[in-house]
Structure 1
Amino acid sequence: MAAASTTAVSSLISIEQYLNTDYRPDVDYVDGYIEERNLGEFDHGDLQLEIGTLLRIRQKEWAIRVVTETRMRVSPTRVRIPDVCVIEAGRKREPVILHPPLLCIEVLSPRDSLKAMRKRSQDYLDMGVPQIWIFDPSTRTAHICTSSRMTGHTDGILKLPGTQVELSVTEVFATLDA
């Protein structure tokens, strides 16, 4: 998905106005401003779907629920839309996610930077999300972000502590070779 560019608006809009407006494609809301998300390119979509599929086929076994591109209110003045979101199974459905999920996953688009994605990830961490996974199709690297550090992985298994959730980095990126 993406870090984003701020779209100029003639005036600030309220969170209520944002939440009651349909945007196509959907956009983030940051402190009164709309931020466009970089998406729509093949590798981004392919990787996002692969990650969602690999997690979703195990959701009953792992007691999780997997959703994509769902608005998440990370603070009173910010709404972000992660590419993939993992929440506890059985948790009450929220039209806009208000409670921290177990995991947020982002896929970089060619116009995204890891630095900008780190800023976006900080919003998730500040909300209480314990980990963010960022997949970069161009370098075939998966980054794990926590409140204390970011580590990159080109192979191995990403594991979400305290859960059974895990993904093989090699398996995820294999879809780009298909």
Structure 2
Amino acid sequence: MSARTLISVEDYLATAYEPDCDFVDGHIEERNVGEVTHARLQARITAYLLTHYEAKGLVVMTEVRVQVRPGRFRVPDICLTVGEPGEEVLTKPPFVCIEILSPEDRMSRIEVRINDYLAMGVPYVWVLDPQTRQAFTATAATGLQEVKSGVLQTENPALEVPLGEIFR
């Protein structure tokens, strides 16, 4: 087995990866993206959020780097901030981070990402599975739970995203 090469935070931030990658403790971690179902769901939820919440002060961003702690950066599929973030790489917790599963994703890997976001102070993490049409929400108080109501929700500010609008 070959050893992975360590790179610095500065080198990571100065490099444009296509698609962008996570940076975890000196190592690059590729993200599973590129499938049509993933891309279409990402487009639908982004469009829904822009249409219904941008005018209310929520900023919707796709694939932006989020520094979840020193030496660790994640790139959520979508994230929302309340107001303009004021920085190119987010160091303050977004309001919501959204991860869309690809067929290759494993729940154990997703749980690490969720825990990174929650530990940073992200109030809501949503996980969407386009294959099974399931949605999950995670908060520090409740942990990861399947959404049974048919609506992804937040409080303060209140957001509601009907699953029927994005899983079409």
TM-score tier (shorter): over 0.9
Q: TM-score if structure 1 supplies the norm length?
A: 0.88
The answer to whether residue 128 in structure 2 is matched with residue 135 in structure 1 is yes
User: How many residues align structurally?
Assistant: 166
Point out 4+ residue stretches in structure 1 off by more than 3 angstroms: none
**Is the counterpart of residue 71 in structure 1 residue 60 in structure 2?**
no
Identify the residue that residue 45 of structure 2 maps to in structure 1: 51
Q: Under a length normalisation based on structure 2, what TM-score does the superposition of the two structures give?
A: 0.93
Q: Compute the RMSD of aligned alpha carbons.
A: 1.5
- The residue aligned with 2:88 is 95
Secondary structure of the corresponding residue to residue 79 of structure 2: strand
For structure 2, which runs of at least 5 residues remain unmatched after alignment? none
Distance 1:48 1:154, change over 3 A: farther
8 A contact 2:41–2:166 mirrored in 1: yes
**1:121 paired residue number:** 114
Task: Report the counterpart of residue 3 of structure 1 in structure 2.
Answer: none
Unaligned runs of 5+ in 1: 1-7
Give 1:171 deviation, angstroms: 1.5
Please state how far the C-alpha of 1:154 moved relative to its aligned partner: 5.3
Letter in 1 for 2:152: L
Q: Which has the higher contact order (CA 8 A, sep 6+)?
A: 1
Deviation at 1:9, TM superposition (A): 6.4
**What is the percent sequence identity of the aligned residues?**
41
Preserved CA contact (<8 Å) 1:38 1:112: yes
Contact 2:54–2:60 (8 Å) recurs in 1: no
Give distance in 2, aligned partners of 1:109 and 1:98.
26
